[in-house]
């Protein structure tokens, strides 16, 4: 595995058909599922690790975001990744940089409303990474379903020559979606955390069965609160535009975020 820390190193290593997996590191089986999907498609597999300051708000956890570079590199090498790109902040955001991507549509609600500027930071860094790595295909996790729709929209709107591929969420056996931030859950909170996916499954089953949408979503929020979680949102949306649905149309998704101690859990399910 080649470890590139400068753009000339990266360019020398990357030519031809490339599957790309952008990450912020602290890698787990969810990230490795994206690497595995990239490998199955053939071609070279490139991953990046960059904790992107522009996607964290001023009161968010940028400084304490987990950084585990040595073990990440071991995992990527064992997974058969060909190149890992480790840019520094000055390469990604030179002092004279004057361009940020602004977004509407699928970026406006949900995480976009709770975390102002978050998706502008995500889209800008992903566009820069695409320009550096020049992948044929890029792999993103459905765990961050809104992020996938935002990236798809950006790729379509900016006519970027890359295919965006979404990979299903990897979960613990009790249903909790793997996340780099789960390590900050206390043992007590960890025991409560599966309630989020349980609520999503129950609500999806009810809505598929024809239950009233407003009642079902309200019931899910009560269940979360009774389980010790504080819901930010729990909403049935159109799977493309992410606009809320009053009546069930296909394809739909339930998007959910809830606070649990110091952690915000994010999850979603197809309906």
How many Å apart are CA 94 and CA 96, to the nearest integer? 5
Q: Which of 124, 132, 149, 180 binds ligand AMP (CB under 6 A)?
A: 180
Q: What backbone phi and psi angles, to 5 degrees, belong to 232?
A: -85, -45
Site for ligand AMP in 201-220 (CB under 6 A): none
- Applying CB under 6 A, does 270 fall inside the site for ligand AMP? no
Task: Report how far Cα 117 is from the mean position of its chain's Cα atoms.
Answer: 15
Nearer to ligand AMP, 69 or 211 (CB): 69
Q: How far is CA 202 from CA 95, 173, 197, in A?
A: 49, 17, 9
Binding window for ligand AMP (CB under 6 A); candidates: 31-39, 40-48, 79-87, 253-261 = 31-39
Which residue's entry shows tokens 């900050």?
A: 184
- Applying CB under 6 A, does 140 fall inside the site for ligand AMP? yes
Task: Report how far Cα 229 is from the mean position of its chain's Cα atoms.
Answer: 21
Question: Pairing between strand 230-238 and 18-23?
Answer: unpaired
Q: Hey, CA dihedral for 234, 182, 29, 14, is it positive or negative?
A: positive
Nearer to ligand AMP, 48 or 216 (CB): 48
- Applying CB under 6 A, does 79 fall inside the site for ligand AMP? no
Name the active-site residue from 31, 118, 222, 250.
31
Closest-by-Cβ residue to ligand AMP is 141
By the criterion CB under 6 A, which residues form the site for ligand AMP? 23-24, 30-31, 33-34, 140-141, 143-144, 167, 169-170, 177-180
Show which residues are catalytic: 31
């Amino acid at each position: 595995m080649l470890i590139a820390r400068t753009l000339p190193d990266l360019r020398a290593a990357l030519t031809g058909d490339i599957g790309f997996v952008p990450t912020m590191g602290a890698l787990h089986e969810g990230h490795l599922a994206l690497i595995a999907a990239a490998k199955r498609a053939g071609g070279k597999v490139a991953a990046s690790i960059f904790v992107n300051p522009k996607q964290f708000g001023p009161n968010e956890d940028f400084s304490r975001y987990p950084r585990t570079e040595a073990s990440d590199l071991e995992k990527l090498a064992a997974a058969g990744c060909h190149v890992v790109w480790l840019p520094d902040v000055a390469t990604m955001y030179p002092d004279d940089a004057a361009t940020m991507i602004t977004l509407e549509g699928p970026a406006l609600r949900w995480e976009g409303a709770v975390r102002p500027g978050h998706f502008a930071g995500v889209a800008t860094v992903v566009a820069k990474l695409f320009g550096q790595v020049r992948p044929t295909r890029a792999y993103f996790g459905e765990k961050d379903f809104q992020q996938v729709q935002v990236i798809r929209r950006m790729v379509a709107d900016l006519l970027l020559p890359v295919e965006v591929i979404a990979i299903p969420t990897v979960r613990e056996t009790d249903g909790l979606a793997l996340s780099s931030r789960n390590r900050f859950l206390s043992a007590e909170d960890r025991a409560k955390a599966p309630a989020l996916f349980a609520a999503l499954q129950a609500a999806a089953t009810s809505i598929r069965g024809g239950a009233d949408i407003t009642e079902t979503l309200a019931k899910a929020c009560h269940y979360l609160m009774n389980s010790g979680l504080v819901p930010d949102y729990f909403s049935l949306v159109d799977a493309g535009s992410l606009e809320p649905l009053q009546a069930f149309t296909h394809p739909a998704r339930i998007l959910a975020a809830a606070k649990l101690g110091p952690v915000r859990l994010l999850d979603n399910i197809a309906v």
